[in-house]
């Protein structure tokens, strides 16, 4: 377990599952998690373990020590590896120059196809019994992990899918994410989603 700023503990779900009774322990943590976004809560409680076992994504659990025997489940995020298609239109010359270094330019579709890290899930615990974590701190921890992964495997791009809500879009924009110049698409639950990306 790693502690950042001596405040929060960050642990991968696969590490938790490797312990004796690890899945039972995680399920207790998940039961204490409540989100304003039903999809974020559903993934944690119903899909995170399976995705971890299938190695399709990596989920990170953020907690805070309350006492020697009690922890507070503050939040979590999930990362995966995907190909991101970025339309050339709207990119600055410096962004084009950066993308040319590690992506493939598709002349047919006029897009840069680049390996990227998908921020698949990102959620604070809104359970009233949790001290939770600020969105700012959770994003700082998340991007620190993204940069660490990129230092190991290369790449400079991270992206996410965001509901069409001004408050959410503004939050990600304050962390230097940009709206991708593509139309919104509908999720399985008929929510309008936009893609946002950041180049380090």
**pLDDT digits over 97-154, tens only?**
888 888 999 999 999 999 999 999 999 999 999 998 999 999 999 999 999 999 999 8
Strands (E), the chain: 2-4, 8-12, 58-67, 70-87, 104-106, 111-124, 157-163, 178-179, 185-186, 192-199
Secondary structure element (H or E) that encloses residue 93, with its range: helix 93-102
And the tokens for 91? 């990119």
And the tokens for 49? 């373990």
Q: How many helices (H) and strands (E) would you count in the chain?
A: 7, 10
- Say what the pLDDT of residue 35 is: 96
| Contact between residue 103 and residue 114 where contact means Cβ atoms under 8 Å apart | yes
And the tokens for 90? 């709207």
Residue 54: how many CA atoms within 13 Å on its side-chain side?
A: 8
And the tokens for 35? 């989100």
- Say what the pLDDT of residue 135 is: 95
* pLDDT < 70: residue spans in the chain: 1-6
| Contact between residue 157 and residue 199 where contact means Cβ atoms under 8 Å apart | yes
- What is the C-alpha to C-alpha distance for residues 133 and 148, in angstroms, rounded to an integer? 21
- Say what the pLDDT of residue 6 is: 59
- What is the C-alpha to C-alpha distance for residues 76 and 66, in angstroms, rounded to an integer? 18
- Say what the pLDDT of residue 197 is: 95
Closest CA to 49 of 71, 34, 30: 30
In degrees and rounded to multiples of 5, residue 96 shows phi and psi of -60, -45
């Amino acid at each position: 377990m790693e502690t950042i700023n001596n405040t929060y503990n960050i642990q991968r779900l696969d590490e938790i599952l490797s312990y004796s009774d690890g899945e039972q322990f995680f399920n207790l943590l998940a039961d204490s998690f409540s989100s304003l976004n039903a999809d974020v809560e559903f993934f944690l409680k119903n899909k995170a373990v399976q995705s971890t076992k299938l190695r399709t994504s990596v989920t990170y659990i953020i907690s805070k020590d309350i006492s020697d025997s009690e922890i507070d489940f503050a939040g979590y995020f999930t990362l995966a590896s995907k190909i991101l298609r970025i339309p050339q239109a709207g990119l600055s010359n410096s962004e084009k120059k950066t993308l040319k270094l590690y992506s493939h330019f598709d002349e047919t579709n006029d897009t840069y196809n680049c390996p990227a890290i998908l921020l698949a899930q990102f959620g604070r615990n809104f359970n009233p019994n949790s001290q939770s974590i600020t969105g700012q701190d959770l994003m700082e921890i998340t991007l620190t992990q993204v940069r660490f992964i990129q230092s190991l495997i290369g790449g400079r791009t991270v992206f996410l899918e965001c509901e069409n809500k001004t408050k959410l879009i503004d939050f990600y924009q304050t962390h230097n994410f940009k709206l991708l110049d593509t139309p919104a698409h509908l999720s399985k639950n008929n929510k309008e989603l936009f893609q946002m990306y950041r180049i380090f």
